[in-house]
Structure 1
Amino acid sequence: MKDYLCAKRDGLTVLAVFLLLIAPMSLFVSHIELLDSVSDSEGMFYGVLTNSAGTQGFLMTLAVLLIGSMTIGMTPKQRWEKFVQLGIILVIGFAAKTGLKHVTESPRPYTEVLTHQLLIPKPAHFYQLTSSQQDQLIEQVSEQVSPWRTQHWLGETDYSFPSGHTMFVAICLVCFGGVFMENKRYGLVGILLIWGVGVAYSRLWIGMHRPIDLVGSVLFIGLVYAAMPNLSIWSDRVFEWLKLHKRLSTQ
C-alpha cells in the first residue's frame, strides 16, 4: 500500500496544492457582479481561459501538454503507462460529470440573475423549459449582462455541479503535473497551476459555477486517481508481448 501511494504522491501533491489555491475563492465570489459591464480585453481573457478547458479547446490543451511531456526523459513503458492512465481518467471524469449533474440538479449561478430580473420564478424553473425557451430567456437578459458572459450561458444550459472544466484541469494536474513534479520541472508545475487557477476563477467570473462545484470536482478526480490500479503489471505484459512479437517477426 505504501509503494502504491508513493507512486501517486507527486500527482496528488500537485492536486492538493491546487485545492488549497482554489478553496479560498469563495471569498472572491461576493465581488463578482454578473450585471457589471465588461471590457473586451477582460472578456476575451476569461473567455480564452475557460475555453482552454472546454469543448472548444481542451484537445489543443492536451496536445500542448502531451508535446511538453515528450521532452521529459521517460522510457516507452513509462510513457505508455501515463497515456493509458490519462485516457482512463478522462473517460471516467467525463462520464461521471454527466451523471453527477443529473443526480445533484444544482442550478447554475446565472439562473439567479434570471430570477432577480423576474424572468423566472426561481432558478429550478429554468430547467423545466425547452432549450429554445432557455435561450430566449438568456437573450432577454443580454441587455443587462455582457455578451462575454451570455455567450457561455447559451452554450451551457445544463446543471452546475460538478464543474467539467475543473475536472479537466484536475486531470491535467494529476497526470501531467505529477510527471513534471517527478522530474523536478517545477517551472512547468507552476505554469500548470497558474493556468488551472485561472480556469477555475473564469468559471466563477462567467457565472457558471460556485466554489463548491470546483472543490467537489477536484476531490472527485483525486479519489479516482488514488483508486486507480497500478498499471505496471499490465504494461510489463504488453511490452513482453511486443518484444516476443518483434523477435518472432525478425526470424
Structure 2
Amino acid sequence: MSMFVSHIDLLSDVCEITGLSYTVITDSAGSKGFLVTLALLLAVSCKMIGFNRELLSKLVQLGVILVIGFAAKTGLKHVTESPRPYTELLTHQLLIPNPEHFYKLDMKQKDEVIAQVSEHVSEWRTRHWQGEKDYSFPSGHTIFAAICLAFFGGLFAQHRKYGLAALVMVWAFAVAYSRLWLGMHRPIDLVGSIAFVAIVYALMPSFERLGDELITRLNLPLNVSLK
C-alpha cells in the first residue's frame, strides 16, 4: 500500500469510469452500502454450508466483532485526532493554515473550504470529503473490510471455496486502496485498522455453546441446507 500510494495525485483529472468504480467500491464498505455487502456475504455463506450450529455460532462472533470494531473506530478517531490527508492539500492550496485548523471550523466553514478547492479537485473525490469531515485514524471502511476478510474469507477457505475467499480478499484490498485514492486515509490508517481487527479476532471466543443454546431454544435442526 505504501508503494502504491506514492503515485496518487489528488489534483489529477479523473474519468467517469474511474471515479464511479472507486465510489462503488468504497461505498460497499461504508455507511451507504455495508449492509448490502454483509447481506450478500451472509446469503452466500448460508447457500454454501447451510444454516447450522457452526454458522450460527460464527454469526454471533461476527456480530460482536462488528460492534467492537465500529465502537473502537469512533473512540480511536477522537483519541488520535489524526487529520485526513485531504486537509494537507487544503493547506498546500493556502485555504487553511495547517491540517489541524480544519477541525476548528464549524460544518458550514468546512463545506466552504472544500467547495473552494473543488475548482482543482475532481468531484469524485470532493463529494467524499464533504461526506466525511471527521478524523483519519483508523479507517472504518478498512475495519469492516478486514472483518469480512477474516470472517467470510476464513469461512470460505475452511470449506475449500478458495475462489470465493480470493474474491473477498480482492474486494477488501480494493476497498483499502480506494480510501488512499480518495485522499481519505494514509497507509498507517489501514495498517492500524487491520492490526486492530487481527487482535480482536484472535482474542474472540468461538461462542459454540451459545450457538448450541440458540439452536435448542429456537428448536432448529443442527443442519439446514439451503442449497
Smaller-chain TM-score bracket: over 0.9
Whole-angstrom distance in 2 between the partners of 1:93 and 1:184:
27
SS in 1 for 2:2: helix
What is aligned with 1:225?
A: 201
Q: How does 1:79-228 map to 2 (within 5 A)?
A: 79-228=55-204
Q: TM-score, normalised by structure 2?
A: 0.94
- Please say which structure displays the higher CA radius of gyration: 1
Q: Percent identity?
A: 60
What is aligned with 1:239?
A: 215
Letter in 2 for 1:58: F
SS in 2 for 1:72: helix
Segments of 4+ moved more than 6 angstroms: none
Whole-angstrom distance in 2 between the partners of 1:32 and 1:100:
26
SS in 2 for 1:53: coil
Which has the larger share of helix? Answer: 1
Whole-angstrom distance in 1 between the partners of 2:6 and 2:198:
28
Letter in 2 for 1:86: L
- 11, 23, 32: which is aligned to 1:47? 23
Whole-angstrom distance in 2 between the partners of 1:189 and 1:235:
24
Whole-angstrom distance in 2 between the partners of 1:230 and 1:46:
35
SS in 2 for 1:209: coil
Letter in 1 for 2:64: I
What is aligned with 1:17?
A: none
CA RMSD of aligned residues (A): 1.3
Q: TM-score, normalised by structure 1?
A: 0.85
SS in 2 for 1:218: helix
Whole-angstrom distance in 2 between the partners of 1:62 and 1:234:
22
Instruction: Quote how far apart the aligned CAs of 1:243 are.
Output: 4.8
- 38, 45, 49: which is aligned to 1:69? 45
Whole-angstrom distance in 1 between the partners of 2:184 and 2:218:
47
Which sections of structure 2, spanning at least 5 residues, go unmatched?
Answer: 221-227
The answer to whether the Cα contact below 8 Å between 2:138 and 2:189 also exists between their aligned partners in 1 is yes
Letter in 1 for 2:90: L
Whole-angstrom distance in 2 between the partners of 1:238 and 1:154:
43
SS in 1 for 2:44: helix
Instruction: Quote how far apart the aligned CAs of 1:86 are.
Output: 1.1
Which sections of structure 1, spanning at least 5 residues, go unmatched?
Answer: 1-24, 245-251
What is aligned with 1:56?
A: 32
Instruction: Quote how far apart the aligned CAs of 1:76 are.
Output: 1.7
